[in-house]
């Protein structure tokens, strides 16, 4: 059953990945994610539904626009495929730990991490609209799990992690990290700490190592990638 639900989560992740591509491109530019429909940036033709199937459509079209044959970046199917794989991995991990009600919060964490990482790579700051809505979404989903699984201490750990990183960011990392990177760390720390103190510790170590190993990577990308990897690591 775990394999079945992980596969379903993976397919769902492919669809979410397609939506994340829209968010990554449009939100930093101040554009609506609803209107107008997706179109080829070269010729302006609206993308047909049959050409909007995650990953598969890009492969069938050989990475080119159906109308003008302009190349379509491999980044789009890559985001879709990575999101699908991560959704499957996180779902399998939490079902194995018998924490099914925590899956929505962790899938949101993965989606936020993908968006934040790509926006930072593009040289943009994580928009306030994403930051503010993510605080609300993450804690709403964690409260649901806490109420159903009686995991109130987990919710306490999440709050401590968020507040603690906020204070630490103001005292220590204010000059070293951008405001959006600090806020991203505060958000992703909540669901990680909800499950165990080990996970934010893993994420912090991975972010530091990643930042030292690849110095050109933005801090927000390192934090997002580290948080995503930490979601799949075992808890002692």
pLDDT tens figures, 76-123? 999 999 999 999 999 999 999 999 999 999 999 999 999 999 999 998
Give me the pLDDT at residue 147, please.
Answer: 95
Please report whether residue 3 resides in a domain: no
Asked if 25 and 74 sit in the same domain, the reply is: yes
* Domain-located, residue 48: yes
Q: Low-confidence residues of the chain, pLDDT below 70?
A: 44, 172-175
* Phi and psi angles of residue 64, each rounded to the nearest 5 degrees, phi first: -135, 155
Look at residue 175 in the predicted model and tell me its pLDDT.
63
This prediction's pTM: 0.92
Distance, CA of 66 to CA of 58 (rounded, Å): 10
Parent domain of 158 = 97-236
Q: What is the pLDDT of residue 23?
A: 94
Tally of structural domains, the chain: 2
The verdict on residue 2 lying in a domain is: no
Neighbouring C-beta atoms of residue 29, cutoff 10 Å: 9
Q: Is 202 among the domain residues?
A: yes
Q: What is the per-residue pLDDT for 51?
A: 77
Instruction: Please give the pLDDT value at position 173.
Output: 59
Round to the nearest angstrom and report the end-to-end CA distance of the chain.
Answer: 25
What whole-number distance in Å separates Cα of residue 21 and Cα of residue 89?
20
């Amino acid at each position: 059953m775990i394999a079945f639900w992980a596969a379903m989560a993976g397919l769902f992740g492919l669809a979410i990945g397609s939506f994340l591509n829209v968010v990554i491109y449009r939100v930093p530019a101040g554009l609506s994610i609803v209107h107008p429909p997706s179109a080829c940036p070269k010729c302006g033709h609206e993308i047909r539904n049959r050409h909007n199937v995650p990953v598969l459509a890009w492969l069938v079209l050989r990475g080119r626009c159906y109308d003008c044959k302009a190349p379509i970046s491999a980044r789009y199917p890559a985001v879709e495929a990575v999101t699908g794989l991560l959704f499957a991995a996180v779902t399998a991990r939490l079902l194995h730990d018998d924490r099914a009600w925590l899956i929505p919060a962790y899938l949101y964490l993965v989606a936020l991490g993908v968006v934040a990482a790509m926006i930072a790579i593009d040289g943009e700051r994580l928009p306030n609209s994403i930051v503010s809505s993510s605080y609300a979404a993450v804690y709403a989903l964690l409260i649901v799990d806490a109420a159903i699984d009686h995991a109130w201490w987990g919710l306490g750990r999440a709050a401590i992690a968020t507040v603690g990183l906020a204070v630490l960011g103001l005292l220590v990392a204010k000059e070293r990290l951008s405001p959006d990177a600090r806020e991203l760390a505060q958000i992703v720390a909540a669901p990680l700490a909800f499950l165990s103190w080990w996970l934010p510790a893993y994420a912090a170590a991975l972010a530091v190592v990643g930042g030292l190993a690849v110095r050109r990577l933005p801090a927000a990308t390192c934090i997002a990638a580290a948080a995503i990897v930490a979601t799949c690591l075992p808890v002692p």
